[in-house]
Structure formats: C-alpha cells, structure tokens
Amino acid sequence: MGSYTQLTYHVVYATKYRDPSIIAEIREKLYEFIGGIIRGKKGRLIEIGGVADHVHILAQLSATLAVADVIRDVKANSSRWMHEQTAVKRTFEWQKGYGAFTVSYSRIPKVRSYIQNQETHHRRVTFQDEYINFLKRHDIQFRLEYLFEDEHYG
C-alpha cells in the first residue's frame, strides 16, 4: 500500500517590527515568487494574501519536508528577492518566527476567503490581535513579552 497525505497549513508571519514594507506595487509579484518557492519544495500554494506588514499562506506541503525548513527557505529567499527589487526603497526583513496552523480539508474554502479579505479585515483588527487570536484558538501557549519583536531606540 502507498502512503497518501493531504497536509494543509495556514502560515502567518510578519515583517520585522511590523514595518509596512510590502508595498502594493510589488505585493503580487512577491506572492508569485513565494508560490514558486513552495512549488519548488513539492508543495501547492492554495491562497496567499496579506497587507503591508504581514503575509498569510494557505498551502499543502510535502510530508517529506519539515514545515520549519520550508518556511525558513520561503522567508530567506523572499527576503533576498525583496532586496533585489528597485521599488523597495528601504531595508526589508521578516520578523523571526511564524505561526503554522493545520487546516482541515473541509475548512479550506473558509480560510481562502479569510486570506482574500485581509485588507477589509485589517481595517478593524491589528496584526498583533489577529495573531494572538490564532494562537489562542489553536491552544498554543505563549508569553506576550516574547511574541513580537519591537524596535527599541536608545
């Protein structure tokens, strides 16, 4: 008998200090680039979206690769790509870490819709509140003081 999997993840991560550096002019190209990385890792991008300070990815990932390895490569390669774009006028970095949540096959349409409506959603909810809600909903323990990187001056 063969082995069959359908491992779908909703992955969320932010720019460093939640800097609004994913500018509209480059956002779709960034998403296409990220999709290419996921395909190169034997995954299938289902949906991608976000706003200027973070990204949501809904993807089926290969059972032969660790989620952490795939996301590390996505973040490293997309960060390098962003540095090569002339439209990006400042230093670009992703924040350390990410959230990855499994998605039941029956919930894929709902998560897709959620990702597609990020612009509207974030008129009411901050990224920080959204992320904390994800962690709580998935019963993931965290300490708020270590959750987000903050820029400190002086």
pLDDT the model gives residue 154: 40
Q: Is 98 within 8 Å of 92 (Cβ atoms)?
A: no
Is the CATH number of domain 8-146 3.30.420.40? no
Taking residue 114's Cβ as centre, other Cβ atoms within 10 Å add up to 16
Token pair of 19 as six digits: 């800097």
Helix or strand run (H / E) with residue 98:
none
Extents of the domains making up the chain = 8-146
Mean pLDDT of 84-96: 83
Q: Identify the band that residue 151 occupies on the pLDDT scale cut at 50, 70 and 90.
A: low
Which of 26-35, 73-82, 145-154 has the least mean pLDDT? 145-154
Which of 47-51, 80-84, 112-116 comes out lowest in average pLDDT? 80-84
pLDDT of residue 87: 74
Average pLDDT of span 11-19: 95
Return the pLDDT at 75: 98
CB atoms within 10 A of CB 65: 14
Q: 36: burial class by Cβ within 10 Å (0-12, 13-18, 19+)? A: middle
Residues 56, 63: Cα–Cα separation, whole Å: 20
pLDDT in tens, 23-68: 999 999 999 999 999 999 999 999 999 999 999 999 999 999 999 9
Q: Does the pLDDT of residue 120 top 60, yes or no?
A: yes
